[in-house]
Amino acid sequence: MYFCEIVIGPPGSGKSTYVLEKSKKLEHRNLWTINLDPDNINKDFYNFNIDKSIKNYQIQNDMGPNSSTKELLNNFAHNINDFYHEYMVEKSEYFIFDLPGQIEFFINNDSLSKMINFFNSKNISVVIINMIDLVFFNTSLLSSYLFTYISVLLLEVPYVCVISKCDKYIDYCMDYELEDLINTNVLNLIKPKKNLKKSHQNF
């Protein structure tokens, strides 16, 4: 049976580190790693990289970085059958895909859904690993939860949310207990701004 992990999460949340460490632990299973983030600076240890010349692609197609990445993902999803037969069949039984961190690639684009549907059609067991840096729960609490909920609703596959860099809990001077973050109890602790009601009335 084939297994596939698709790693998502905001930029800087530790996706590449996760893939690297997982590949070490599963070395005996002949793990195959695929990088689908053209801007990933840690490309050396992947077995496959989607594009090593994103800058050239931007210039040739007169696109910005996000548009270029979105187009590359679309092309990859469109040719997923060719990729499957060339790189996946008989290569390994365990694959990890590392994706870009921008959530708009999932909301405004169906490339990931197409990939998942294709893998399901080939009886490949798929799971989403959502990496979120612990510090994001200090700086962008609601956005972190929203990213997770949207991903769960859109992707419709087994899903694991991983809070990364928990060893930095003290260094980050977290506003909330880790257990409250995990259980989402922290949402009940959020207090509205004092001037919010007044601003709403003025509006």
Average pLDDT score, the chain: 87
- What is the Cα–Cα distance from 156 to 142, expressed in whole angstroms? 21
Least Cα distance to 77 among 15, 161, 11, 6 occurs for 6
Compute the Cα dihedral for 64, 67, 68, 69 and give only its sign.
positive
Return the residue matching tokens 């909920």: 149
Instruction: Report whether CATH 3.40.50.300 matches the domain 2-189.
Output: yes
Q: pLDDT grade, residue 197 (50/70/90)? A: low
- What is the Cα–Cα distance from 46 to 35, expressed in whole angstroms? 6
* pLDDT of 67 above 80: yes
- Tokens for 160, please give them: 């694991």
What pairs with residue 168 in β-bridges? Answer: none
- What is the Cα–Cα distance from 151 to 173, expressed in whole angstroms? 28
Q: Of how many residues is the chain composed?
A: 203
Of 6-10, 130-134, 173-177, the poorest mean pLDDT is in 173-177
* pLDDT of 203 above 50: no
In contact, 94 and 34? CB cutoff 8 Å: no
Of 81-85, 129-133, 192-196, the poorest mean pLDDT is in 192-196
- Tokens for 86, please give them: 């060339």
7-45 tens-digit pLDDT: 999 888 999 999 999 999 998 888 899 999 988 888 888
Domain extent listing, the chain: 2-189
pTM: 0.87
